[in-house]
Amino acid sequence: MANLFSNYIDGKWQPAKSSKTFENRSPANHNDLIGLFPASDAADVDAAVSAAKKAFASWRLVPAPKRGEILYRVGELLKQHKEELARIETCEMGKVLKETRGDVQEGIDCAFLNAGEGRRLFGETTPAELPDKFAMSVRMPIGVCGLITPWNFPLAIPTWKLFPALICGNTVVLKPAEDTPHTASRFFEILVEAGVPPGVVNLVHGRGEEVGAALVRHRDVQLVSFTGSAAVGREIASVCGQNLKRVSLELGGKNGQIVMEDADLELAVEGALWGAFGTTGQRCTATSRLIVHRAVAAKVTDALVARAEKIRIGDGLDERVEMGPLINQAAREKVLRYIEIGKQESARLRTGGAIQNSGNCANGYFFQPTIFDQVKPTMRIAQEEIFGPVLSIIEIGSFEEAIAVLNGTPYGLSSSIYTNDVTRAFRAMRDIETGITYINGPTIGAEVHLPFGGVKDTGNGHREAGTAVYDIFTEWKSIYVDYSGKLQKAQIDNN
């Protein structure tokens, strides 16, 4: 009999009010039923938001250092259960254990970063323009936060959102991706064990069209934080804009890695392989375009093809495997469509381009590492986010052309340049239009203490991680204390 999981609302584990469920199956073997999860709807969202609203009245008054102590305990518990959580992630979303361990480590790092911030949460003090008057600004919590998170980082991304929300004094309703509900459920068990009070965190499983939409539209949700596709992000932004609701969007990417003729080519090839095929290309920061100087393009391409064809594909629970499956059948069909688009656009398929379904891959959503060359910058495979193990190689003849090509997409999340010329490196840092730039490193590998996010269609200007995230989850309040004992009129000429 399949394991039956629940929502977590107001300190209680409970089924969907409709009693409906949905299946969670392994993408490495769709015959493997992980469990049944609540197919929730607007009624469950309303119960969760009501609980969060009620809990906010007391949680906001808990001193931030005390809130930090709870997050510190969460971090310690995540450390203790790191291997267990990594295996849960690998089972339900497919990426290899080395990567899911890294995902959990990111959550651990995020817990400790935010726990420490409980003794900071800096405002500003500034001289007042009048005598016997004091001026300062402080951060205030916003209220109930609706968090909608994707499946590709099923622990790390929820922690990016939930921990800052809590340390700032907000309460939370989390809607995790329906492809990775088990990780979220286990995460909430840890939150409860660490001592997060009832109602402060609430978990509602279900489909985005039902649970996500209800959460975004709920009148008592003051803030929505969403990570996912640009198309859905636009819909959420529209609804939140109509209701003057704060919204933070972290959306797609079409990230480019530049390789100049003076680069360490072996290092560049290693970076491109990791950037393109890590997480089976299912990262918003994945390297989907390789922009290579034509003087070294043939050498780099041949090396990449040779290395890609040796990547071991299979179940991520096998420590020997280097690349797991795509998340589901729809994702695999999307990648196949883009393979055909690339061929129709006259890009040359150098390797891959097909489903991997032999041997141990027969019952999963596996796909071969795929490389196109002779790609033009305007081709759809060079412009649109594929979200799979597909790398497009574009040749350029100069540094200036490389920058123009890299900037020439609707997205602006992550970027990379491999060069040993310090002048080029600094010009790239200045001229590349992305939120993240790596020098002599791949486009993936962000760290939690620096801002994460992008420009253009990658989001709406907010940043997660680092200390910039607190600008999402707090309101600024300016405070003036006049101890002169008389009415003083700012900006009024009293002479």
Give the catalytic positions in this structure.
250, 284
d(CA 419, CA 111): 35
Give residue for tokens 């910058």: 377
Check the CA dihedral 45-223-283-183 and report its sign. Answer: negative
Q: Which two tokens stand for residue 469?
A: 């995230």
Token pair of 297 as six digits: 């393009």
Report residue 7 CA to chain centroid gap: 22
**Distance between CA atoms of 495 and 493, rounded to whole angstroms?**
6
Element (H, E) at 133: strand 133-141
- For strands 29-38 and 21-26, give the pairing: antiparallel
Helix axes 156-167, 181-194, angle to 10 degrees: 30
Q: Which residue has the tokens 């009070």?
A: 197
Torsion-angle region of 398 (φ positive above 0: left; ψ -120 to 50: alpha; else: beta): beta
- Nearest in space to 60 (alpha carbons), one of 184, 176, 199, 225: 199
Q: Is the dihedral of CA 83, 88, 93, 94 positive or negative?
A: positive
Given a contact cutoff of 8 angstroms between Cβ atoms, the answer to whether 433 and 455 are in contact is: yes
Q: Which of 8, 118, 75 is nearest to 470 (CA)?
A: 118
Residues 6+ apart with CB under 8 A from 291: 256, 257, 258, 259, 394, 396, 402, 405, 406
Phi, psi of 38, deg, nearest 5? -65, 130
445: how many CB neighbours lie within 10 A of its CB? 16
According to DSSP, the residues that pair with 246 across neighbouring strands are: 223
Element (DSSP H or E) covering residue 273: helix 265-277
